[in-house]
Structure 1
């Protein structure tokens, strides 16, 4: 290996790592169930967290302090996700995705529904 390759390859790798960390690459998205606790207990997407839609503004900071975090929302019909979506966007969250129903969220994310 030539000197140029021994110097440039580590620099390129370091730059790639810096960009990944600086721009959030590799961060796990946050999946939020905005239904009630009773609905959650009937089945929810694996890895999701429960924050009922009426508490999303107060509870989001505990799971996504970075306003650039990717956040997926779901509920039973999609109505409450739309409400939560609006609250998060108004609060400055940039990457919020409304997945609609729990079944659609599981399908789109490739995750199981667990109880």
Structure 2
């Protein structure tokens, strides 16, 4: 009986956690990022100003990840704007994306790392 209870608990946990895990793993696909960019998405480089100055995607604006939500609000960027974020590896852009989602921005995409995006440019 205890084994059956444990099994049911495990199934319940997996049922609840799998959708969260798949949502958290979304993004970082350069092909998807470029489709969004070509469709008119705003492109935001969330690296430091120095990293941005050393090279960035054409048309990208620079807003460091720690300032993203405040800067979007300051600039009056619509919450339904299509936005592709990127950094060096995808970690900071993921943090920036989480910040924007928490503020109600509905159409954000973590494009991952600059070099991956640059190499995949159509």
- Return the match for 1:29 from 19, 22, 41: 41
Partner of 2:95: 83
* Richer in helix (by share): 2
Partner of 2:68: 56
- Return the match for 1:40 from 49, 52, 58: 52
- Stretches of 4+ moved more than 3 A in 1? 61-64, 106-110
Aligned residues: 84
- Taking structure 1 as the reference length, the TM-score comes to 0.66
- Unpaired segments ≥5 residues, structure 2: 1-38
Q: Tell me whether 88-97 or 56-65 shows the greater mean CA deviation.
A: 56-65
- Return the match for 1:98 from 87, 92, 110: 110
CA distance in 2, matches of 1:103, 1:62: 29
- Unpaired segments ≥5 residues, structure 1: 1-26, 111-115
- Taking structure 2 as the reference length, the TM-score comes to 0.62
How far is 1:29 from its partner? 1.3
CA distance in 1, matches of 2:43, 2:116: 13
RMSD: 1.9
Partner of 2:6: none
Q: Which has the larger radius of gyration?
A: 1
